[in-house]
């Protein structure tokens, strides 16, 4: 199942990430492939990432999107924790 049209794919990925990271204070998904859904940039700020190394945070995102990633050419992930 391909993630067609940018906004549709962005919405779908955002929904999946919201379910996986319910404590996220910010989730932003942008189709950076010109709208074909082949490459996305994801920014997530969440308490779930606190006390975890960057590589562990990115693994959590990759795991949450494991099915969707099969249909992508690339994914840029940026994670952070909320400032106190």
26-55 pLDDT, tens digit per residue, is 999 999 988 788 899 999 999 999 999 999
What mean pLDDT is reported for the chain?
91
Q: Under CATH, which architecture does the 6-78 domain have?
A: 2-Layer Sandwich (3.30)
Exposed e or buried b per residue across 15-52, where buried means at least 16 C-beta atoms within 10 angstroms of its C-beta: ebbeebbeebeebebebebeeebbebebebbbebbeee
% of the chain surpassing 90 pLDDT:
79
H-state helical runs in the chain? 6-20, 54-64, 66-69
By the 8 A CB rule, do 42 and 28 touch? yes
This prediction's pTM = 0.87
């Amino acid at each position: 199942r391909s993630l067609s049209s940018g906004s549709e794919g962005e919405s779908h990925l955002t929904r999946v990430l919201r379910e996986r990271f319910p404590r996220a204070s910010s989730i932003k998904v942008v189709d950076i492939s010109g709208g074909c859904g082949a490459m996305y940039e994801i920014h997530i700020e969440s308490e779930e990432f606190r006390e975890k190394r960057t590589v562990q945070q990115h693994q959590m995102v990759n795991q949450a999107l494991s099915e969707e990633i099969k249909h992508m050419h690339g994914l840029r992930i940026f994670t952070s924790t909320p400032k106190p």
